[in-house]
Amino acid sequence: MYFSELYSISDVDQYNWFDPLLEMDSRLFVDPFLIFQEVASSPWASAHDEMVQYFQSAYELLAGHQNNPDSLQYRKTLQLMTFPEPPHFGLGYAKDSTDGAGTGKGFARRIVRAMSEAINRGLEVFKHFEELGLLVEKISRDRISDITCNILIRRFISYTQEQCRALEVPLVEFELERGEFDPIRNRWTSKHIKLPANPFGSRGILLTPKRFLRELPALNVDDWWEYVEPELRDDLNLAINQKLSKREIIRLARERPELIRRWSQAREGRRVEAYPVDRDPEGLHNWQAQGSAIAAQYCIHWRSRGLRPVVQS
């Protein structure tokens, strides 16, 4: 069931929000680079800066303690880099439900180790935190999406409430364990908020602008290698047809942090398009609606002839 079905919203394509499935996740992801592209007049215009500031604060906390995992500052940074998957969005890789693993403590340790190495090599802040994907092995698109949704949770809450009030969708109070970030105490706090209710799992629903969704982040490991390969291939004495594994590419990125910054700055001038959710050419989201339409047409066909389909056991 879709959000629009539950709340009887017709002509859903006319709206700018993504219509999530309520029983399971759709394999689409929030791309922070699409948020970076927002025009100055957009209410989301400062959202990317908010993400950058979050990581900048973490870097400043870690700097000087990056080689001391037992320090209070290092442990605090670990807490800041723990991003559980917010199940309210209906996005990501969870196979059978909208509950997922997110970015847990083990992954947070890998992130902080990568941050520490970056500081040691002179890269003390990420202008686009997707640059982490070149320093942390196995940081996939759903983890980048999880991090984005966590940091900007307050904005997604306000956006959802605004859309629901316009549509006269009822809101119910929920408690979000990580509903708000306290920059003074440098920690996440719980918050009681009102959201539309999802009957599958007894949780709230958060809506996402369709223009923020992609299948793959615009800034990713393969794109970095495509950008730097002509420069590095001769240095590495690679054969023309020789391919490097993702692990080897990440190792090179760690050794050449200046190329990470040059690449991300170069990509800022490139316009990136969101996934066409309404057309859904890959069948990532509309498959349930299409299946229901076919089933309804099948039943109408049989009934119009005064017949009933035979179901064999």
Q: Is the pLDDT of residue 257 over 90?
A: no
Number of domains in the chain: 1
**pLDDT confidence bin for 244, thresholds 50/70/90:** confident
Q: Which of 302, 303, 257 is nearest to 132 (CA)?
A: 257
C-alpha 130 chain-centroid distance: 11
The domain in which residue 32 lies consists of 3-304
Q: Does residue 312 belong to any structural domain of this protein?
A: no
What average pLDDT score do residues 111-125 get? 82
Query: Element (H or E) spanning 30, and its range?
Result: strand 29-30
Domain-located, residue 310: no
Is there a domain that residue 92 lies in?
A: yes
Helix, strand, coil: what percent of the chain each, to 5? 45, 10, 45
pLDDT tens readout for residues 190-205: 999 999 999 987 889 9
pTM: 0.86
* pLDDT at 125 exceeding the cut of 80: no
Q: For residue 250, what pLDDT is reported?
A: 85
- pLDDT of 311 higher than 60: no
Under 8 Å between Cβ of 219 and 267: yes
| Residue 258 maps to a domain | yes
